[in-house]
Structure 1
Amino acid sequence: MRFGIIGTGTVGRTLAAKLVALGHEVTLGSRTKDNTAAVSWADQSGPNGHAGTFADAADFGEVVINATAGTVSLPALRLAGAERLAGKVLIDVSNPLVFSPTGEVSLEPVNTDSVGEQIQREFPETRVVKALNTLSAPLMVDPGRVPGPHQLFVAGEDPEAKALVRGVLEQFGWPGDQIVDLGGISAARGTEMLMPFWLRLMGHFGHTDFNYSIRSAD
């Protein structure tokens, strides 16, 4: 399968490397074709790894992954182009974290909206699935870093899109019974709001190899 990844940070490069290792073809997209991180990654990734612009990645991918910071996701996806995203599954991994000069963390948007919902509204012909935004990049692609059962969450309006994303997550090593479908894209509000708490947990543990393990009586 062909994937286009919007964003060249740690999350984007980690997902890209895993997908290439699984035999998929990936274009890692940035604002410019000569982005050092993207070009370096592509040079080291063999024939299935490519670098390009946001538009190149969106055009290339059968599935597109938004791995930008949530506060800049909409401008980045506008550069990718609505016409290139139309009809495609877009996995939104972003979180709208805002850091104050004193280090305090807030979210924008929050409570009554989410980045996942904003993307779905602005790109109504794109099938947006919120996923992978509640844990660290290494754990996204290697769930065995944390022992025992622990969960991932998905949200979106299109059942077929969520089924496709579930299949990708299972390729990453996530057991199907640990992938929790929270329903429509409005559930992204809750998963995005977990991230300030996640940052507190990171400070407590001193590392990022942890995740949520939720148990039900039934």
Structure 2
Amino acid sequence: MAGMQLGVLGTGDVGRALASAWQAAGHDVVVGTRDPGATRTRGDWPDHLALATFADAAAGAEVVVNAVSGDRTLEALELAGHLTGKVLVDVSNPLDFSQGFPPSLLVEDTDSLAEQVQRAHPGARVVKALNTVNNALMVAPDRLPEDTTVFVAGDDADARTVVVGLLRDLGWRDVIEFPALEAARGLEMWMPLWLRLVQRLGSAQFNLRIVRSAD
């Protein structure tokens, strides 16, 4: 899709991977962090990725991507602001590691982190996506030997279309859309099984493939 202004919030593995991949696809990307100076002094920040505060990254973006950990998501988005009218892609998972591994879910069943984000920022157009795979597969689904499936959930049809386009730029071919943000509940609740599969398989390089009937 045509180049867009993207603000990716979060400087961890997920944020870096998404920012680098979308920049390579022709988008103008700024990565948001709480303290850009501290991030740069770590010495491992890629020179090709622009850094800014959460607020500045969001202010200049058409699409804001939340790649902050689930337990810090609401705080980070409050610091970011500038979300009204914008597509807000939530890739986080509401994981609680306070009792060790595997983590529990901070929210489940009758609510989701994505819905909490929408309630906190009612003017944003929240879409849940990419939270069901690890960061390496997010940006390179062809690492697996066959097509697998990624999911998009959101109330706003136009916002979902934008996100599907961004997923195509990453190489995703099989995208299933859910026309309600409520579906994020199931996407987030996949995580407990996903984490146990990582333990059992000894790798996070796997994904779901939805096989349709020929009928």
What range describes the TM-score normalised by the shorter chain of this pair? over 0.9
Q: Hey, what does 1:205 align to over in structure 2?
A: 201
Compute the displacement of 1:25 (Å): 1.3
Q: Hey, what does 1:34 align to over in structure 2?
A: 37
Compute the displacement of 1:127 (Å): 0.4
Compute the displacement of 1:43 (Å): 5.1
TM-score by length of 1: 0.92
CA distance in 2, matches of 1:53, 1:118: 23
CA distance in 2, matches of 1:101, 1:154: 30
The letter of the residue matching 2:57 is A
CA contact (8 A) 2:70 2:92 kept: yes
- Note if 1:17 corresponds to 2:13: no
Taking a change above 3 Å as real, the CA distance of residues 93 and 73 of structure 1, as seen in their structure-2 partners, is same
Q: Hey, what does 2:69 align to over in structure 1?
A: 69
Compute the displacement of 1:44 (Å): 1.9
CA distance in 2, matches of 1:159, 1:101: 38
Q: Hey, what does 1:79 align to over in structure 2?
A: 79
CA distance in 2, matches of 1:72, 1:202: 23
CA distance in 2, matches of 1:124, 1:196: 29
Compute the displacement of 1:41 (Å): 6.7
CA distance in 2, matches of 1:56, 1:74: 17
Q: Hey, what does 1:156 align to over in structure 2?
A: 154
Helix, strand or coil for the counterpart of 1:44?
A: coil
Compute the displacement of 1:38 (Å): 9.1
Over the aligned positions, Cα root-mean-square deviation in angstroms equals: 1.6
Q: Hey, what does 1:134 align to over in structure 2?
A: 132
CA distance in 2, matches of 1:101, 1:156: 31
Alignment of 1:41-52 (within 5 A): 44-45=47-48, 49-52=49-52
Structure with the higher helix share, 1 or 2: 1
The letter of the residue matching 1:161 is A
CA distance in 2, matches of 1:20, 1:162: 20
CA distance in 2, matches of 1:38, 1:125: 35
Q: Hey, what does 1:186 align to over in structure 2?
A: 182
Structure 1, unaligned stretches of length 5 or more? none
Q: Hey, what does 1:168 align to over in structure 2?
A: 166
Helix, strand or coil for the counterpart of 2:145?
A: coil
CA contact (8 A) 1:28 1:38 kept: no
CA distance in 2, matches of 1:38, 1:205: 36
Q: Hey, what does 1:113 align to over in structure 2?
A: 111
CA contact (8 A) 1:135 1:211 kept: yes
CA distance in 2, matches of 1:181, 1:12: 23
The letter of the residue matching 2:6 is F
TM-score by length of 2: 0.93
The letter of the residue matching 2:74 is L
CA contact (8 A) 1:90 1:127 kept: yes
